[in-house]
Amino acid sequence: MKTTTNSYYATLEEEYLIDRSILQEIEEANRECQPIFAGISATTELNQLKILRAFQSNQVTDFHLHGSTGYGYGDVGRDTLEQVYATVFKAEKAIVRAQIVSGTHAIALALFGNLAAGDELIAATGRPYDTLLKVIGIHGEEGSLLKNGVQYTEIPLTPDEKIDLKELCERISPQTKMVAFQRSKGYDWRPSFRIAELAEAISRVKTRFPWVICMVDNCYGEFVEEKEPLEIGADLIAGSLIKNPGGGLALTGGYLAGKEALIEQAALRLTAPGIGLEVGSSLCFGRTAYQGLFMAPAVVGEALKGAVLAARFFEKLGYPVAPGYNDKRTDIIQAIQLGSREKMIAFCRGIQKAGPLDAFVTPEPALLPGYTDEVIMAGGTFIQGSSIELSADGPIRPPYIIYLQGGLSLAHIKTGLVFAAHELQKKL
């Protein structure tokens, strides 16, 4: 007997032995999410148009897709890609390079490039993302900002998890060179900061302290809303190309965009003084970075729909979720509170079983470079560690929250959610 006449559900029930209750819940969740999906599609259309126009106004041509080798002198494809990014993010200048190894590296370039000994960095959105704590050096890490003589101040969020604007403005002094904002919640159970909230905070800071650089960690936020942080007053943004702006195609890389002077400083850190952005071969990075950026709004739209569906589905299965399925979003992250180490492992096992690659491996918790707790990760992705592809991860610590993100198509994400729920059910 079949759950429905739909052969997708029938196949899952008959061939994958998924319990009918799970299929009924996801089918209902999917129905309830349709109005939210419509809103996401509208944002995708606008962002797709924005990117199309950036390609056209910079006259991207086939020649630009071919890479360079060695020093990479005169790599017009590389330089044009950076101009396209600058146009998309409304920046004076951008850096988009395969030589930026990760999002953490991109953010570190923004920080080290623009902060000298004696300068103060203020984190305005509470405790920063795990890997950035080591860049800052809160435990005395070698080579960190603190070891280089940069001062660091962290402004905790208010009890209702907002940016503490009053405290922030009171703490800014003539030594304060930069205020850093983190758009996405990272591994935290707080709401992410929407563009409107960042706009208010940045304009407060800029009105009173116009010399302060406002930097936004834009990881996971690109193309989720209609505007990006530079359009609402930020001076500098940074992010990863194996997240949103790489569209699932970029093979590696990171980006920075913002005021020309700040980008120039970061460039000296990326390469060397006197060299800056004139060198750096793009190898075979260009084609995937261009096409990935072009695909990014659509891919982000699919990932967002998947996150919304996950929120509704796991809420129905009895787990606390953040954000809720009909909350406004500014990133692609869906947090699900599972309540135990075993359930985190089971959830990841399900996501892994839904991967196009490595579906036969079993994720295990492990210590990873840059992180302080054991982390579990699932992701049978085409690009290693890519989290714009369907993936789930989280540090193993109470209350045992799994962070789900990415997915190149909603159809695939849906199957991943079903598999995760199936593994959780087996665990009970």
Interface contacts to ligand PLP, rule CB under 6 A: 102-104, 107, 129, 131, 182, 184, 186, 217, 219-220, 240
Rounded to whole angstroms, what are the CA distances from 258 to 93, 101, 218?
6, 19, 12
- The beta-carbon contacts of 387-391 under 8 Å, at least 24 apart in sequence, are 387/220, 387/242, 387/243, 388/242, 388/243, 388/244, 388/246, 388/247, 388/248, 388/299, 388/300, 388/303, 388/332, 389/248, 390/306, 390/351, 390/354, 390/355, 390/416, 391/351
Least spacing, CB of residue 89 vs ligand PLP, in Å? 17
Q: Which is nearer to ligand PLP, 246 or 286 (CB)?
A: 246
Least spacing, CB of residue 111 vs ligand PLP, in Å? 12
Least spacing, CB of residue 192 vs ligand PLP, in Å? 9
Least spacing, CB of residue 134 vs ligand PLP, in Å? 11
Rounded to whole angstroms, what are the CA distances from 98 to 7, 245, 294?
43, 13, 17
Terminal Cα distance for the chain, rounded: 25
Least spacing, CB of residue 353 vs ligand PLP, in Å? 24
SS3 track for 367-420: CCCCCCCCEEEECCCCCCCCCCCCEEEEECCCCCEEEEECCCCHHHHHHHHHHH
Q: How many residues does the chain have?
A: 428
| CA nearest neighbour of 220 among 187, 255, 245 | 245
CA distance 423 to 425: 5
Q: Which is nearer to ligand PLP, 162 or 427 (CB)?
A: 162
Q: Which is nearer to ligand PLP, 9 or 129 (CB)?
A: 129
Q: Which residue lies nearest ligand PLP, judged by its C-beta?
A: 103
CA distance 8 to 37: 20
Least spacing, CB of residue 203 vs ligand PLP, in Å? 22
Q: Which is nearer to ligand PLP, 29 or 219 (CB)?
A: 219
Least spacing, CB of residue 251 vs ligand PLP, in Å? 14
Which residues are within 8 A (CB) of 374 and not within 5 positions of it... i.e. 6 or more apart? 365, 366, 367, 395, 396
Q: Which is nearer to ligand PLP, 144 or 240 (CB)?
A: 240
Q: Which is nearer to ligand PLP, 55 or 129 (CB)?
A: 129
Least spacing, CB of residue 136 vs ligand PLP, in Å? 12
Q: Which is nearer to ligand PLP, 44 or 104 (CB)?
A: 104
Q: Which is nearer to ligand PLP, 217 or 225 (CB)?
A: 217
Least spacing, CB of residue 110 vs ligand PLP, in Å? 11
| CA nearest neighbour of 108 among 125, 124, 93, 121 | 121
Q: Which is nearer to ligand PLP, 173 or 384 (CB)?
A: 384
CA distance 362 to 348: 8
